[in-house]
Amino acid sequence: MSFPSSTFRREARAGLHDIAPAAIAAVPIGLLFGAVAVAKGLSPAEIVLMSALVFAGGAQFAAIETWVHPAPITTLAFATFLINARHVLMGASLSPKIRLSRIQKFLCFFFITDESWALSERRALDRPVTGVYWVAMVTVLYLNWVVSTGLGAILGSFLGDPARLGADFAFTALFIGLIAGFGRSRVTLITVAVSAAVAALVHHFIGAPWHVASGAVAGIAAAYLSAPGEEARA
Amino acid sequence: MSFDATTILAILAMAVVTYITRVAGLFVADRLVLTGRAKAAFDAIPPLRCWWPSSHRPH
């Protein structure tokens, strides 16, 4: 990774420019995550550690939503895998488009998020994704997430239980909004319906945190079974 | 600063699993061709773009 200084500056500026909207949007989510995590019994230091080491908003939300003491390590790891399995495809797609050595990729891919991946894919449409561009983007996003969740944890300690303000429903609203954006295809509707039904049943009869993993597995199975096979496409 | 051992282990487990999913793409980059049902199943894995305002979502 060696650049003339003008190219370096241009790539860094482009990365910072592109990531700015996502970084700004992440601040209130980070604050909320920290506040809810404190209410679930995690200390601010543990919350910062989680954000620094995991750095995956979706998996962290799901973990906190189902967090109990003592933490169910296997269940949390399994749920994390299901939620983050999409990173495999993101990494596979991004790998040939980013100008980094193998070792640099192993380091830099720690910072793959939906946002950095999507922006890189877009940039790759008309030019190569440089390491400088990537590092500029993910540094902002990473520090932003760690700091905002930490601040949320500290502020949450003073505010008390977010449920009093109804803020705990923000997670649910977030996911409902996400599902609403999935589209209206037959496979999608079947997937969402089966996943929701199984998660609700498991939550009712067995309880948290198993409903998260059960719903995800049921949804994946439903998508597999309801999608047309290769012979149907031919 | 307070840490609970079980909580730390859970966080470490989440971190390791997440990192594995992130670098696994490097190994499958040249080998994976998803079509049909396998693609639908993979697409059903929750794409949690929960930080992203729709007005700024790249295409």
pLDDT value at residue A54: 96
pLDDT value at residue A103: 92
| Angstroms from B33 CA to nearest CA on chain A | 10
DSSP assignment string, chain A? ----HHHHHHHHHHHHHHHHHHHHHHHHHHHHHHHHHHHTT--HHHHHHHHHHT--HHHHHHHHHT--SS--HHHHHHHHHHHHTHHHHHHHHHGGGEE--HHHHHHHGGG--HHHHHHHHHHHTTSPEEHHHHHHHHHHHHHHHHHHHHHHHHHHHHH--GGGGTTTHHHHHHHHHHHHTS---HHHHHHHHHHHHHHHHHHHHT-TTHHHHHHHHHHHHHHHHHS--HHHH-
Closest CA to A82 of A200, A178, A220, A191: A220
Judged by CB atoms closer than 8 Å, whether chains meet at A57 and B53 is answered as: no
The answer to whether B5 contacts chain A (CB < 8 Å) is no
* Stronger pLDDT, B47 or A194, i.e. the higher one: A194
Closest CA to A74 of B29, B14, B21: B14
Q: Give A 120-139 residues with CB within 8 A of chain B.
A: 121-122
Least confidently predicted of A38-47, A152-161, A165-174, B47-56: B47-56
Q: Give B 15-54 residues with CB within 8 A of chain A.
A: 15-19, 21-26, 28-29, 32, 34-54
Which residues, 6 or more positions from A129, have their beta carbon under 8 angstroms from its beta carbon?
Answer: A94, A97, A98, A99, A120, A123
**B39, B47, B51: residue with CB nearest A57:** B51
pLDDT value at residue A115: 82
pLDDT value at residue B49: 44
Please, what is the Cα angle at A190 between A188 and A195, to 5 degrees?
95
Least confidently predicted of A139-148, A172-181, A198-207: A172-181
Closest CA to A226 of A178, A192, A180: A192
**A61, A76, A122: residue with CB nearest B58:** A122
Q: Indicate the burial class of A208 (C-beta count within 10 angstroms; 0-12, 13-18, 19 or more).
A: middle
Judged by CB atoms closer than 8 Å, whether chains meet at B25 and A50 is answered as: no
Residue B35's region, left for phi above 0, alpha for psi from -120 to 50, else beta, is beta
Is ipTM > 0.85 here? no
Residues of B in contact with A233 (CB under 8 A): 35-36
pLDDT value at residue B13: 96
| Angstroms from A36 CA to nearest CA on chain B | 16
| Angstroms from A205 CA to nearest CA on chain B | 24
Judged by CB atoms closer than 8 Å, whether chains meet at A233 and B36 is answered as: yes
Is A178's pLDDT higher than 70? Answer: no
What's the pLDDT tens digit per position in A133-173? Answer: 999 999 999 999 999 999 999 988 776 666 666 666 665 66
pLDDT value at residue A184: 72
What's the pLDDT tens digit per position in A58-102? Answer: 889 888 888 888 888 998 998 888 888 878 878 887 888 888 999
What's the pLDDT tens digit per position in A93-135? Answer: 788 888 899 999 999 999 998 888 878 887 887 888 999 999 9
pLDDT value at residue B59: 35
What's the pLDDT tens digit per position in A18-27? Answer: 888 888 878 8
Residues of B in contact with A57 (CB under 8 A): 48, 50-51
Residues of A in contact with B16 (CB under 8 A): 77
A48: confidence class by pLDDT, cuts 50, 70, 90: very high
Judged by CB atoms closer than 8 Å, whether chains meet at B26 and A105 is answered as: yes
* Stronger pLDDT, A151 or A182, i.e. the higher one: A151
Judged by CB atoms closer than 8 Å, whether chains meet at A61 and B50 is answered as: yes
